[in-house]
A and B are shown apart, each in its own frame.
Chain A
Amino acid sequence: MQRNSRSSSSGWIVAWIAAAILLASSLILAASDSAPDHIPSLVAWTPDTIAIASSGDAFRGLLLAKRCDHCHGAEGFSSTPSTPNLAGINKLAIWKQLEDFRTRKRLSHAMDPIAASLSPRDEADVVAYFSKLPVFTDPQDNRAFPEPRPEPAHAAIASRLVSFGDGERGIPPCQACHGPVAYRPGVPSLATQNTGYVLNQLEAFANRTRANDINEPMRTIAALLTEDERHALAEYYGSGLGLEPGGATGPK
């Protein structure tokens, strides 16, 4: 009997605390004047997320990836300029985009239904497969780099931006995040990407039609670049200059 009364009184205390918390949180919500939050991506690079994204089975991914061949190419090099090359792109980068397509943080007519049909395990497996595909290291190989080399003036603009950025305007060097100097979680390597895709994405970031970059680094940088610089960068990566020994430092 005594026990019962004690537990019921502790129950009352819990109820009072819960009520107080509810009241306080509703007051805080009422006091804040901000509009609903714009959340760029539901992905956060916690150790758990990284473990999930890199736990895939590449062989199962190979079977699932048959349906990707049509656009992304059987060897991970796409034949259409608006579709990205996926061969050798690191796991976290592809995984984040699949996740963003699935949660509709990045919009694409082609990819939204495909990503929505994948289970979390499928996503990790497909990603593991594409990241293991060999990258063509020979820039003369036309399968990977169908683009002609850019004109020297354009190549010079691009290689300067890639290796040094532009300190005056506060543009960091591309290679500090997109490799080969350094990478961040979820940032793709660009050295084997195609011209059309790089250009499309730079323009989409600048117009903010693509807004799934966490803490908006790419929206900021793309908006700082001029039209000409965006073209030069796309041509630089698409023609394989990023892979050449002298490509990173630019023509002498």
Chain B
Amino acid sequence: MFINKYLRMASAVLLSIATSAYAETPVNNEAVFNPAFSLILTGTYGQFQRDPTIPATGFAMNPNPGHVQGFSIGETELGISANIDPDFRGVATMSIDATGGIAVENGFVQSTSLGDGLNLKFGRFFSGLGYLNEQHSHAWDFVDQPLVYATLWNNQLAEDGVQLKWLAPTDSFLEIGGELGRGLDYPGTNTPKNGSNAGAVFVHLGDDIGVEHSWRLGASLHQTTQTDALSTAVPDLLNTSGGVTDSFSGNSQTAGVDFVWKYAPNGNIRERHFKLQSEYFRRNENGLLTYDMTGAKIKDSYSVVQSGWYVQSVYQFMPMWRTGIRYDRLDPGIAQVGALNAGNVISNYAFNPSRTTWMIDYSPSEFSRFRLQLAYDATRQGLPDNQCLVQYIMSLGAHGAHQY
């Protein structure tokens, strides 16, 4: 009797050990350092012939993230992430600005247990629109973002809100997603109000062709409203010295398409690989413009279609070494200016800003990279600029996997 009982107990213990083996050992790689900490150190040296704060011609009412001349430590990025509980994962990325401020770049919660191809994110996150928008700056292939991202998205669109994505149960990749948020970043004006102030929808398609080629195609739509968006130093028809300060309120609708194709011999990216990508965005702004806020203050209708695109390719020609080339182009459009401002506001700049960039980078390991970038910048009419940038990017601590 006793023996029987002990045998039963022993077998129960053995069984429980056997069945829970995979549940008891540490399971999440990220959880080895719980939470996972990462720190990105970057710095640049910039040499320019022109003042980098001069905006591209026709884009004085857009952001100009520009460049920093001379030595600069750029942005130091601190990342913390971990599973919160069986249902949620949390991610925070703090960026420490060279001038001293700390900003929450990302701070979001992601569902981990919805299943059925659903992914829910809420908090502050990079919008899923376009191809480059979600990539952190340390993963960029060039020191700076393409002009179309710099002028239409202030480099990168972050949003405070909710994002829901659904991946179709198909052999090819088909993902659709939507976001609602407060319109935190340009072109939004971070205006407090009930409900949402910005929205985006996007769709991504992708697959492999054999083992050597892969691609992704995307389309996105973004909508927000601008409330009293102030722009300073905007040139006008009266040639006011130093420009004027204008204010715009209205709708902003942007459509974009993006494409990336990657190739590696035998699909082995360790040795050599090639990437070609291109994106196009087109924005329609429609509303009321107040000309010269500090003087005349004349308000009338204003609408414009701005657009831009880039094409770039990066080639790793041997382990550790990559080179890349990029061509950028913007179109400021021809604005429809209300009669009251027809003699004040420039409607047609008749100039398309463009830029050609070449870079070479060397990565002694997965965690360190040095880059040299040369650019011929023709974004400012009559002020061509030869630009030279040297950059380092170093990553400490846990380093998460990169997106495609």
Q: Do A and B come from one complex?
A: no
Residues of B within 8 A of A (CB): none
Residues of A within 8 A of B (CB): none
